Amino acid sequence: MKILKKDGHEEVFKRDKTYSSIYKSCLNANHDKDTAKRIASNVTNELIKHLMGKKFVKSETLFKYIATLLEKHDQDVALLYETHRDVN
Report the number of distinct structural domains present in the chain. Answer: 1
Per DSSP, what are the bridge partners of residue 11? 3
Instruction: Supply the pLDDT for residue 83.
Output: 82
Between 84 and 42, the more confident residue is: 42
Mean pLDDT of 50-73: 94
Q: In what order do the strands lie in the sheet with 10-12?
A: 10-12, 2-4, 56-58
Euclidean distance between CA atoms 42 and 51, whole angstroms: 14
pLDDT at site 85: 61
Is residue 17 predicted with pLDDT exceeding 70? yes
Q: How do residues 68-86 score in pLDDT, each as one tens digit?
A: 999 999 999 999 888 876 4
Query: The whole model's pTM is what?
Result: 0.86
Q: Is residue 2, in this structure, part of any structural domain at all? A: yes
Domain of residue 7: give its range. Answer: 1-11+59-88
Report how far residue 47's alpha carbon sits from residue 62's, in angstroms, rounded to the nearest whole number: 9
User: What's residue 86's pLDDT?
Assistant: 46
3-class SS of residue 13: coil
Does residue 34 surpass a pLDDT of 80? yes
Residue 81 maps to a domain: yes
Tell me whether residue 22 is in a domain.
Answer: no
Q: How many helices (H) and strands (E) does the chain have?
A: 4, 3
